Structure 1
Amino acid sequence: MVISACAELTWHEIGCLVHGLVLKHGGFERNCAVGASFVYFYSKCGFLEDARNVFDEMPERDVFAWTAVINGHVQNGESERGIEYLRKMHSEGDKEAWNTMVKGYGKMKLLLGKSLHCYAVKTSFDLATSVVNSLIDLYGKMGDLTVAWRMFSEADKSSVVTWNSMIASYVHCERSDKAIALFDRMISENFKPSSITLVTVLMACANTGSLEKGDKIHRYITETEQEMSLSLTTALIDMMRFVGT
């Protein structure tokens, strides 16, 4: 799309001309994606007032439009204004967009992700499981295992991704002993680990240098006839190399 190219190349004048043509032919009434594209374009070029004007004039807004206006303010150093739009989205009841936004910010900017989590707690906003998993990962990357563990403890653990997020957080924070212990608990509670779980716990075994723990995981993989993906095979070889099997 022309406007996307203008945004990436910050061709402000050309983008404005395209905007004028769109308005001449009916504006954004029929296409929410076009409106979101112009919000992104003006934000990318640093014209936040124009981005807000386009956003405010949109008759309907989807998650892409909300993402464009909030990301635009955050990336231009106006995080507080971004939070204001987040609150507006929440007040309008767009739960799906709100959950998507929290998940995205957890990856994009750790401190802002933490702020969004605090806002969710204060407003008793119901977080989707995928968002909880992202926040566990977020706090793990920040080194705050206390909050990560509290979120894990209170979470619905029916998803293997929830377990993976906490195990990975322990490995990231160099608490591989805790990661292995949580893996053992996962197995004892009859949850089936994924290939990602096994790769992560093999990394933990390699970090500890424990031959006993490494052999235990190796036996589990063999006895349960796990499908040996390239990543799992590589992790197993690395573990054997580090623990000396």
Structure 2
Amino acid sequence: MRGNVVVESSLLDMYGKCGDVGCARVVFDGLEGRNWVSWTAMLGVYCHNGESESVLGLVREWGVVDVYSFGTIIRACSALAAVRQGKEVHCQYVRKGGWKDVVVESALVDMYAKCGSVDFAYRLFSRMEVRNLITWNSMIGGFAQNGRGQEGLELFEEMVKEGVRPDGISFVNVLFACSHNGLVDHGRRYFDLMKREYGIRPGVVHYTCMIDLLGRAELIQEAESLLEAADCGYDHHSVWAVLLGACTKCSDYITAERVAKKMIQLDPEFHLSYVLLSNVYRAVGRWNDAQEIRRLMEERGVKKMPGTSWVESEKQKGSPSFDLSIVGRSMGEAA
């Protein structure tokens, strides 16, 4: 069947969904007649497996974007918070006459919101003639992640009024908005609503948002009780790590000690558990216990890990330029 682009593109897709990106690329490189079908399939493989840099690399390799691949490329830009590249793809989309595809428009809303251009994302959202649940979730999440949680909650209520049934991702966005805006009562109500009204079983991310919300309000004991009653896996260390982080700002040293010890038990190599417990002991004058924790770290080979951060670099030499007025005109705005 060699030379059949449909079969070979399906083979690419199969390897990608199985997580074998290397084999997918071998198939792609060996194609005798690569076309937009196989190219789009390879982009999908990279995007599905979280290799967003490789998506943009393949786009640069081919130079021209096919209309059917815009959604995939924009999702890659969104994952990388690469707003400059996203704008360039947006321009190409407009130049090719696109502007009514709900998949591409939803991806654009998500990309601009994740890159911090939440007002522009909302303008796109407001002008969409057709919206699906992904569109609503992207915009609600965009408000939540950019410190505008109240607007996110209002948009969630608008979505429900329009008859769109929320899913688990919707409630992750809502609980995140409540957490980062200190809306404890709202968070409790939505968490209960999710289970009671919509029958959505809370997952690890939902519990993480609730623990973070209660922890920020220094309701440590309530957060601990919620976590102990969680049905997402009592020993899920990532949720306990959130509670541990909340303990760094509380004055309840007994609870902080208990949580830190539990976290050490769940994940003996997580350095922050030892650091927090040592700090707790020092704060209450238990110097011998603090030294014992430091000694335990050394015995187990646990080391403090430095933090990291990243920003998008300036435009590189040879990168294509972007003219925002093209997008503005396509939206009926003045250039």
| TM-score under structure 2 length normalisation | 0.49
What's the RMSD between the two structures over aligned residues? Answer: 4.3
2:177 paired with 1:105: yes
2:193 paired with 1:116: no
Deviations 1:52-105 (A, max 9, x none): 53355235625434424x54998396465234046469953532x224314532
Deviations 1:25-67 (A, max 9, x none): 342345131254678999616x96x555335523562543442
Partner secondary structure for residue 110 of structure 1 = coil
The corresponding residue for 1:174 is: 251
Structure 1 residue 132: Cα displacement: 1.0
Structure 1 residue 142: Cα displacement: 0.8
- C-alpha distance in structure 1 between counterparts of 2:97 and 2:306, whole Å: 53
How many corresponding residue pairs?
A: 213
Q: Cα 1:157–1:23, aligned 2, differ >3 Å: closer, same or farther?
A: same
The corresponding residue for 2:37 is: none
The corresponding residue for 2:294 is: 218
The corresponding residue for 1:228 is: 303
2:199 paired with 1:127: no
CA contact (8 A) 2:178 2:186 kept: no
2:171 paired with 1:94: no
Residues 41-80 of structure 1 aligned to structure 2 (within 5 Å):
44=119, 53-55=126-128, 57-58=130-131, 61-62=134-135, 63-68=137-142, 71=144, 75=148, 78=151
Q: Cα 1:184–1:67, aligned 2, differ >3 Å: closer, same or farther?
A: closer
CA contact (8 A) 2:210 2:223 kept: yes
> Which range moves more in the overlay, 198-207 or 84-93?
84-93
- C-alpha distance in structure 2 between counterparts of 1:25 and 1:208, whole Å: 64
CA contact (8 A) 2:139 2:152 kept: no
2:222 paired with 1:147: yes
Amino acid at match of 1:100: V
CA contact (8 A) 2:110 2:138 kept: yes
| TM-score under structure 1 length normalisation | 0.64
Q: Cα 1:206–1:35, aligned 2, differ >3 Å: closer, same or farther?
A: same
Residues 230-245 of structure 1 aligned to structure 2 (within 5 Å):
230=305
Percent identical residues:
12
- C-alpha distance in structure 2 between counterparts of 1:130 and 1:114, whole Å: 19
**Which has the larger share of helix?**
1
Partner secondary structure for residue 248 of structure 2 = helix
Q: Cα 1:231–1:110, aligned 2, differ >3 Å: closer, same or farther?
A: same
CA contact (8 A) 2:133 2:164 kept: no
Deviations 1:130-187 (A, max 9, x none): 3312321221111222421221221232222222222332331122232123333555
Larger radius of gyration: 2
Amino acid at match of 1:105: A
Q: Cα 1:26–1:152, aligned 2, differ >3 Å: closer, same or farther?
A: closer
Structure 1 residue 121: Cα displacement: 0.7
